[in-house]
Structure 1
Amino acid sequence: MILLAESAQAYCYTGGRPFDAERPTVVFIHGAQNDHSVWSQQTRYFAHHGYNVLAVDLPGHGRSKGAAKASVEDMAGWLLAVLDAAGVERAMLVGHSMGSLVALEASYLAPQRVSGVAMLGTTYPMKVSDALLETSRSDEPAAIDMVNIFSHSMRAQNPSCPSAGVSTMGVSRRLMQRMSAINPQHLFHTDFTACNAYANGEAAARALQCPTLFIVGSKDMMTPARSTKMLTSCVAHGKIVHVDAGHSLMSEQPGAVLDALFAFAATSV
Structure 2
Amino acid sequence: MSVLPTFTTLGSGPTVLMLHGIGGGHLAFAPQVESFASSGYRAVAWDMPGYGHSAPIEPYTFKGLAESCLALIEALGCEHVVLVGHSMGGMVAQEVVARRPERVSRLVLCGTSPAFGKPDGEWQQAFVAERTAPLQAGKTMAELAEVLVPQMIGPGALAEGVRLAQHCMGLVNPSTYRRALEALVTFDRRANLPHIHVPTLLLAGEHDRNAPPAVMKKMAQAIAGSTFLEMAGVGHLQNLEAPEAFDAAVLNFLALPGQLLH
User: If the length of structure 2 is used for normalisation, what is the TM-score?
Assistant: 0.86
Residue 253 (structure 1) aligned with residue 242 (structure 2): yes
Partner of 1:76: 66
Partner of 1:154: 155
Equivalences for 1:8-157 in 2 at 5 Å? 8-15=3-10, 17=11, 23-67=13-57, 70-127=60-117, 130-140=125-135, 141=139, 143-156=144-157
Secondary structure of 1:53's partner? Answer: strand
Change (3 A) 1:48 1:37: same
C-alpha deviations, 1:212-242, integer Å up to 9, x for none?
0000101112111112244222113110111
Cα RMSD after superposing both structures: 2.1
Partner of 1:221: 209
Contact 2:98 2:192 in 1 (8 A): yes
Partner of 1:3: none
Contact 1:70 1:191 in 2 (8 A): yes
Compute the displacement of 1:243 (Å).
0.8
Contact 1:124 1:230 in 2 (8 A): no
Residue 265 (structure 1) aligned with residue 254 (structure 2): yes
Inter-partner Cα distance in structure 2 for 1:125 and 1:7: 27
Secondary structure of 1:10's partner? Answer: coil
Amino acid at match of 2:148: V
Q: Specify every segment of 5 or more residues in structure 1 that has no aligned partner in the other structure, as ranges.
A: 1-5
Secondary structure of 1:125's partner? Answer: coil
Amino acid at match of 1:198: F
Partner of 2:120: none
- Of 32-41 and 63-72, deviating more is 63-72
Q: Specify every segment of 5 or more residues in structure 2 that has no aligned partner in the other structure, as ranges.
A: 118-122
Inter-partner Cα distance in structure 1 for 2:101 and 2:57: 27
**Identical counterparts, % of pairs:** 26
Compute the displacement of 1:63 (Å).
2.3
Contact 1:11 1:57 in 2 (8 A): yes
Compute the displacement of 1:131 (Å).
4.3
C-alpha deviations, 1:116-172, integer Å up to 9, x for none?
10000012322386544103334234654443133111333xxxx25xxx3x43332
Partner of 1:176: 169
Inter-partner Cα distance in structure 2 for 1:69 and 1:91: 26
Inter-partner Cα distance in structure 1 for 2:146 and 2:85: 23
Amino acid at match of 1:243: M
